[in-house]
Structure 1
């Protein structure tokens, strides 16, 4: 199945319109964003009536929302030295799990940061792992999978680093969500090995291009045109196919404020679909 990230689609439209457009563009599902803005965090407090509107649109259009990107933890990180922010991070996660359960969302993607805006320390790593353990228990109680994204940040920028944490929290409700762009941008990563090493824990795959990190360049992790970056899409996808990966893929883009988001999505699909086909994915 091929999904599209919500932020690729026009921003100021209803969920029924968003799901309709995604279906017209040939996608199988949408990935919801709950980012660090007040506007999107407010979704976690939707009333039953508001949730029913979205659920009815999903059912009527036969167009699911299968995953949620919970990047609100950048603002309220699990590893924060501020205990009030840790408490807020856990509260956001609890509400996100409840919303996912109500809407039929299977997987919540968590950003692989201990902290984002603050200095990283041994203590922030410790707090992240301790609070992640609590998060997994909360999600498991409602059969929702938490998937850690491989990031544009050194804290978890490889599947190997994720596996070191999963070894401490050995739950089927904690998995990894590799972003092929982020995974490929870090020169220390042997991408094929990383996919092979982590295949048993991969829940979903983000399709995105990036510009690689070098000694004098910090890399570019967003808004790189497909085919213009460092990702060997065919090599990665053939590796996943050989490993019998049969989960879903999500095209990740940020064209929601563009004048021509539909055209940009169509352009991306025209590049990505042949890669998937060449690798053996229908």
Structure 2
């Protein structure tokens, strides 16, 4: 039995695939689970209103394919941010998050990842930060009741682009069900920006990190950088994370219409599993 779990971000696969096809494809590429996306499109948000029968079909597909959905990325909270000064947007964000926790509970999802934005499309202010904290505390209470972990993702913004900044909110909320879900690509860019040590930043989350997004980046570029062409030191980051007891990882990249997308899945899996295997063997 492997000492770690390596997941695949749903958006690395073509959107037109059925859930059964996505799970089968991820399994064929060697992955252990899939991370489902609830982004800001109404199509993805509508997943949270699936009927009991539809949810049961998804769970059945997991059992029949032998590959589960175990983490959830609720990037809809970028648009419907928890600190938004438009009450309609922040209220919708809370509704989405409450439904996401319920959906996760039904599917067996362990971690619901929420982006570290108090507000995204509007200016960040003292009031948006206060509203974010108030709503985050409410969200943590919902998670406590359901037994589902919330993970704050470190983003590309000044508000929460380091583990240190995310830990501020973990401390202020004081909940066993609110942790940090760092993106090593975003952390690497922040370390370059601040001339700081990315591994020291990770250390500040010791005991409070659920899992890690393995994403490639370049300075100032946060998405769609192919693995091996960026500046993220995955070997050093995984070695540090492993030493801290982190055993769950997700390769985060996007399907962009390539004919070789299945090969891309296998390349990402093999690259990261090779590093993880070396850690599990004590290298």
Smaller-chain TM-score range? over 0.9
Q: Aligned partners of 1:246, 1:36: CA distance in 2, in Å?
A: 29
Give the structure 2 partner of residue 224 of structure 1.
225
Q: Aligned partners of 1:242, 1:80: CA distance in 2, in Å?
A: 37
Q: Aligned partners of 1:23, 1:270: CA distance in 2, in Å?
A: 13
Q: In the alignment, is residue 27 of structure 1 matched against residue 31 of structure 2?
A: yes
Q: Aligned partners of 1:77, 1:171: CA distance in 2, in Å?
A: 20
**How far does the alpha carbon of each residue in 1:124-173 deviate from its partner, in whole angstroms, 9 at most, with x for none?**
11111110111111111100110000111111000110111111111110
Kept in 2, the 8 Å contact 1:238–1:280? The answer is no
Kept in 2, the 8 Å contact 1:234–1:279? The answer is no
Give the structure 2 partner of residue 134 of structure 1.
138
Give the structure 1 partner of residue 70 of structure 2.
66
- Specify the SS of the correspondent of 1:3: strand
Question: Which 10-residue stretch deviates more, 250-259 or 20-29?
Answer: 250-259
- Specify the SS of the correspondent of 2:207: helix
Give the structure 1 partner of residue 205 of structure 2.
198
- Specify the SS of the correspondent of 1:155: coil
Q: Pick closer, same or farther for the CA change 1:37–1:258 going to 2, 3 Å.
A: farther
Kept in 2, the 8 Å contact 1:11–1:256? The answer is no
Q: Aligned partners of 2:138, 2:111: CA distance in 1, in Å?
A: 17
Alignment of 1:115-134 (within 5 A): 115-134=119-138
Give the structure 1 partner of residue 260 of structure 2.
260
Give the structure 2 partner of residue 240 of structure 1.
241
Q: Aligned partners of 1:11, 1:136: CA distance in 2, in Å?
A: 31
How does the TM-score come out when normalised to structure 2? 0.93
Q: In the alignment, is residue 84 of structure 1 matched against residue 88 of structure 2?
A: yes
How does the TM-score come out when normalised to structure 1? 0.94
Q: 2:18 aligns with which of 14, 19, 39?
A: 14
Unaligned runs of 5+ in 2: none
Unaligned runs of 5+ in 1: 213-218
**How far does the alpha carbon of each residue in 1:194-251 deviate from its partner, in whole angstroms, 9 at most, with x for none?**
1111121000101011002xxxxxx1011111121111111111112222x2421000
Equivalent residues, number: 275
Q: Which structure 1 residue ranges, 4+ long, deviate > 6 Å from structure 2?
A: none
Q: Pick closer, same or farther for the CA change 1:257–1:33 going to 2, 3 Å.
A: farther
Q: Aligned partners of 1:233, 1:142: CA distance in 2, in Å?
A: 33
Kept in 2, the 8 Å contact 1:74–1:115? The answer is yes
Q: Aligned partners of 1:169, 1:24: CA distance in 2, in Å?
A: 40
Kept in 1, the 8 Å contact 2:82–2:131? The answer is yes
- Specify the SS of the correspondent of 2:96: helix
